[in-house]
Chains A and B, each alone.
Chain A
Amino acid sequence: MFTKKNILSMRDFSRSEIDLVLEGAEKLEKYALGKKSDLLQGKIMANLFFEPSTRTRLSFESAMKRLGGEVLNLGSQEASSISKGETLSDTVRVISNYCDVLVLRHPKEGAARMAAQFSSVPVINAGDGAGHHPTQTLLDLYTIKRESFLDGVSIALVGDLKYGRTVHSLAYALAMYDAKMFLVSPEQLKMPDDIKSDLKDLGAEVIESTSLNDVVKDLDVLYVTRIQRERFPDPEEYGKVADSYCVSLDLLNDVRKNLIIMHPLPRVNEIDVEVDKTPHAKYFKQAFYAVPVRMALLTLLLGD
């Protein structure tokens, strides 16, 4: 049974709750592809975005509308003018009177958890600062389930593993599926020790490496993230590091036939466009899976 009132952090999810979301998404996929549905007819979702976002906001909107629901959209401009210097807690108290579910993106960490205390309707965290983005993790898991397999999957998480906290939530969730995790990052962007020890406690096999080449042959999933320029004081250093983690056709010579490549997008130059044509490329499919996963969350929260 799904008893959650809000979707705030992956930390709140048990494996069986994740499975419920993923099973729900599978059932709803046909509607994400365009089949008519009135599952959420009469329900209103408010998008409250204090920071710009395209794919997250649009995929939530698409999910709600394809299930027959209505959407109130407050982009960053409107959101800030509505709040006119008022506290987030007041804004949430007001807006939750106008909708059945509230989707929030906010620059402060912990904003969604606080909003949930003041909202009269369920709150979905669509990203809070450098904090959580649980619906991204769930759609990543769904992509792995649909395009590869979850139990005991051999996956490399590549890029900024130090500051990229969505990677932390994904790793945390994958540990519940006994994943074998290769953590591939430059020395200065390695995953923090406390998170690694959490992963091991959960039963995951964790192997660190600085070389993508060394591990790529052993993978079912290659999950690539962006390395941000601002993490490097020296631009030349950044250039070298960024290049060394670029996924190109050359890298894919000896990989497993069923390897899938994922990326939360937008990509800059982490994946060469040539790779898009290979059967390994699943990052655009991943972007599509955002819709059924968000549909599943909306129906679980709004279902009677």
Chain B
Amino acid sequence: MERELRIKSIHNGTVIDHIRAGQALNVLKILRITGASKAVISVAMNVPSKNITSKDIVKIEDRELASDEVDKIALIAPNATINIIRGYEVIEKHKVQLPDEIEGIIKCANPNCISNTKEPVSPKFVLHEVDPLQFRCFYCDRILVGDFIDYVKT
């Protein structure tokens, strides 16, 4: 298969496939995976694909990401699939699931929201609408729409 030629298979770890083209780096940002960790990470962007015109792929070696950890990326890559690899075999495969609640990843767009102050609370959102994707701020009720990467906490 062509994609196997682009990035070689990994022995153990996690493959995030079918990421919306161009979003791979943002996926890493949401997962807080930076080059600072020792893990070998391969990123392929704008790879031609059967189902979607093109896609991104991320392979993280020697780390198995838990579902609740990975589901956060559904915000920007709703069709992504997670493959857990052990000994070159896919031992678990599933689609990311939009979480009903999301905490600490994105921040509220309302500058007057209590979650954007020095108070000791992390921003929290409740899924409001799936298509188009909308999250409602747990504190101020502001509805967030559009490109969620803009709201990701830095």
Q: A residues touching B (Cβ–Cβ < 8 Å)?
A: 9, 11, 87-89, 106-111, 113-114, 117, 128-132, 194
Contact = CB atoms under 8 A, between A and B. Distances in A.
B88 interface: no
B31 interface: no
A106 B118 CA distance: 15
Interface in B135-153: 137-143
Given A109-B110, A109-B114, 10 more contacts: A11-B141, A88-B117, A106-B114, A108-B113, A108-B117, A109-B140, A109-B141, A110-B113, A114-B139, A128-B114
B121 interface: yes
Contact of B112 (A108, A117, A194): A108
Contacts of A132: 141
Contacts of B118: 87
B141 A111 contact: no
B142 to A, nearest CB: 8
Given A11-B141, A109-B140, A131-B140, A114 B121 contact: yes
A89 B112 contact: no
A117 B119 CA distance: 12
Nearest to B123: A110
B114 A88 contact: yes
Contacts of A129: 112, 140
B14 interface: no
Contacts of A109: 110, 112-114, 139-142
A110 B114 contact: yes
B112 A130 contact: yes
B139 A110 contact: yes
B102 to A, nearest CB: 16
B-side binding surface: helix, strand, loop or mixed? Answer: loop
A177 to B, nearest CB: 22
B35 interface: no
Contacts of A113: 114, 138-139
Contacts of B120: 87, 89
Given A110-B139, A131-B140, A87 B114 contact: no
Contact of A131 (B119, B121, B138, B141): B141
A162 B133 CA distance: 23
B115 interface: yes
Chain A to chain B: the 8 pairs with minimum beta-carbon distance, closest first: A110-B139, A109-B140, A110-B140, A110-B114, A108-B114, A111-B114, A114-B114, A87-B119
Contacts of B121: 89, 114, 117
Contacts of B117: 87-88, 108
Contacts of B115: 110, 114
B112 A9 contact: no
A88 B137 CA distance: 19
Nearest to A88: B119
A109 B113 CA distance: 5
Interface in B84-126: 110, 112-115, 117-121
A165 to B, nearest CB: 9
Residue of A107, A109, A131 most packed against chain B (CB within 10 A): A109
Contacts of B140: 108-110, 128-129, 131
29 contacts: A11-B141, A87-B117, A87-B120, A89-B120, A89-B121, A106-B114, A108-B112, A108-B113, A108-B114, A108-B117, A109-B114, A109-B139, A109-B141, A110-B113, A110-B115, A110-B139, A110-B140, A110-B141, A113-B138, A113-B139, A114-B115, A114-B121, A128-B114, A128-B140, A129-B140, A130-B112, A131-B141, A132-B141, A194-B143
A129 B140 CA distance: 9
A9 B120 CA distance: 22
Nearest to A192: B143
Contacts of B141: 9, 11, 109-110, 131-132
Contacts of A131: 140-141
A132 B120 CA distance: 22
A194 B120 CA distance: 31
